[in-house]
Structure 1
């Protein structure tokens, strides 16, 4: 069975990473284009929907720039679940997601980025800044949407069917440094 791929079409790409539109409901600023009001899913929704299926794959055949964005979001969700498993309430989880989103992170081309073989380095400093801002916006939005999936609204406790995937590694990679 093949892995699930993104159905999104990037309006623009920076260093072979698609800048995909986000739903109009996003409250975080950034360079991501706005999706049309009638669009049902964006790349974060796809990553959340396919997460539990894609997390089992060690190899992922990249079919386009949108898939590179989907891979990044999936790896970030993996990192978020590791953080959320140590929390007890949704408010505590929200604080963890915010601190993870604003913490320093590497982009393609940086020595610490785990997927430099699959991603191209940005051509200019302006492209690198725009990519970093796009990833920052995705990190904020993905963390916020994951909270709605992971916490049960009636009991304000963790959903064990999401947290059980916190130990899995997509493509045997991680965005966090070893030991974190």
Structure 2
């Protein structure tokens, strides 16, 4: 059985910067993400959170389309994979905390992590740099950073709403920090971290 993929694979006219698709997002934070045409349709952040657990159970993730895939010359990687790796990083930070974080403490820590200076595709320190392009200008680089910050902040907010039950993080969600994902067409283990 194949892994689950994004419903945005067939979306026409999606802007891409350095191989990252700027997909529609219903966001409470400001940023360059376009608004969805159909607000009842789950956006890319909701898809990433919903598909995280299911895709974590698969050993392989085969790339199938534009929302999954970000084409850079001969190699493919998925926008969905970036958010899945970010979710994994967030869960790892919650699990590794010396004391159990309350939802408010987790929101504070993870929001700070979401906006902290992080490597962009094209930077030497970006963990999947061989799979992404380089922004063609400073303006594209700034737009990409703003989009990823917006997506990361929105992911943190929605993720915490799902995993905090009875004022404590769900152990069932935290168990997924040990799962690794592998993209066969890239020969790169998704056991990497974005941090």
Residue correspondence of structure 1 range 77-92 to structure 2 within 5 A: 77-85=87-95, 86=97, 87-92=100-105
Distance in 2 (CA, whole Å) between partners of 1:119 and 1:63 is: 17
Distance in 2 (CA, whole Å) between partners of 1:71 and 1:57 is: 13
TM-score (norm 2): 0.81
Residue correspondence of structure 1 range 15-54 to structure 2 within 5 A: 15-23=18-26, 26-54=27-55
The aligned residue for residue 185 of structure 2 is: none
Q: Deviations over 1:32-56 (max 9, x none)?
A: 0011353320111111111012124
Residue correspondence of structure 1 range 55-70 to structure 2 within 5 A: 55-67=56-68, 68-70=78-80
TM-score (norm 1): 0.88
The root-mean-square deviation of aligned C-alpha atoms, in Å, is 1.7
The aligned residue for residue 184 of structure 2 is: none
Residue correspondence of structure 1 range 92-103 to structure 2 within 5 A: 92-103=105-116
1:17 and 1:65 in contact (8 A); partners too: no
2:100 pairs with 1:115:
no
The aligned residue for residue 14 of structure 1 is: 17
Distance in 2 (CA, whole Å) between partners of 1:59 and 1:128 is: 31
1:58 and 1:172 in contact (8 A); partners too: no
Task: Give the count of matched residue pairs.
Answer: 172
Quote how far apart the aligned CAs of 1:57 are.
4.2
The aligned residue for residue 165 of structure 1 is: 176
Gaps of 5+ in 2: 69-77, 182-189
Task: Give the secondary structure class of the aligned counterpart of 1:166.
Answer: helix
Structure 1's 90 and 33: CA in aligned 2 closer, same or farther, altered over 3 A? same
Distance in 2 (CA, whole Å) between partners of 1:138 and 1:101 is: 9
Gaps of 5+ in 1: none
1:78 and 1:169 in contact (8 A); partners too: no
Distance in 2 (CA, whole Å) between partners of 1:167 and 1:39 is: 33
Distance in 1 (CA, whole Å) between partners of 2:137 and 2:125 is: 19
The aligned residue for residue 140 of structure 2 is: 127
Task: Give the secondary structure class of the aligned counterpart of 1:172.
Answer: coil
Q: Deviations over 1:128-158 (max 9, x none)?
A: 1111110000010000100011101xx2111
